Amino acid sequence: MQFHPEVTHTRQGLRMLDRFVRDICQCEALWTPAKIIDDAIERIRQQVGDDKVILGLSGGVDSSVTAMLLHRAIGKNLTCVFVDNGLLRLNEAEQVMDMFGDRFGLNIIHVSAEDRFLAALAGENDPEAKRKIIGRVFVELFDEEALKLEDVKWLAQGTIYPDVIESAASATGKAHVIKSHHNVGGLPKEMKMGLVEPLKELFKDEVRKSVSSWACRTTCCTVIRSRVRASAYACWAK
């Protein structure tokens, strides 16, 4: 049995964690949202230096926060790839391109791959199989786009700690799978780029709290949604 006190469905979960950390372990609360942002930006700069980085930007919370952190850390050395998989909301692609390209000035490439995703999903009804198919096609597309760019040394991902937990079995073989994530253990072994995951040790609520204290609060944070391709997992492929 796996129990997740950190998720919103566990009403007193954060109180349990707070009591354990502060009262039982006697830890001090020094990890503030502002410090999380500053530390993440500094770690990115130390890790990648002047190298170029490519990021798959979905418009969801995790990849959006990752994009803004990288943009602050390395500026124009970041290239974002937004993939239209045919499973988005009405005008969602245009909204993402407008917000991150026009408003925030990120380098962003729009890839239209609706037919490719829908063809790969056709006839498949199992949610776990759909996740793996979607992950595989995304990895293929990012690899293709990286080859078009010059001297890209790093692949950035919006991996957060629950992704690691939920994909534990596929990554370590030592736990039950809750659901697989293409950004945990789903990358090809022969991939030549290094991996940048600035949110990997954070839970979703920590990501939201961090970005809520950020300068982009009134624009970016009010638009970002946590959807992560849920429409694909819920629908019946035809």
Domain definitions of the chain by residue range: 1-30, 32-234
pLDDT at 89: 86
61 annotated ligand-binding residue: yes
Which pLDDT tens digit goes with each residue over 63-107? 999 999 999 999 999 999 999 999 888 898 999 999 899 988 999
Long-range CB contact pairs, 31-34, < 8 A, 24+? 33/206, 33/209, 33/210, 33/212, 33/213, 34/210, 34/213
- Specify the pTM: 0.75
Q: Is 226 annotated as a binding residue?
A: no
What residues of the chain score a pLDDT lower than 70? 1-2, 166-191, 213-238
Q: Is the dihedral of CA 115, 170, 41, 152 positive or negative?
A: negative
| Residue 158 annotated as lining a ligand binding site | no
Q: How many CB atoms lie within 10 A of CB 6?
A: 17
Q: How far apart are CA 70 and CA 158, in angstroms?
A: 11
Q: Among 3.40.50.620, 3.10.450.50, 3.40.50.2300, 2.40.30.10, name the CATH number for the domain at 32-234.
A: 3.40.50.620
Residue 59 marked as a ligand binder: yes
Residue 76, pLDDT score: 95
60 is known to lie in a ligand binding site:
yes
CA–CA distance, 222 with 228 (Å, rounded to integer) = 17
pLDDT number for residue 219: 46
pLDDT recorded at residue 201: 87
pLDDT of residue 238: 39
Q: Are 151 and 54 in contact (CB under 8 A)?
A: no
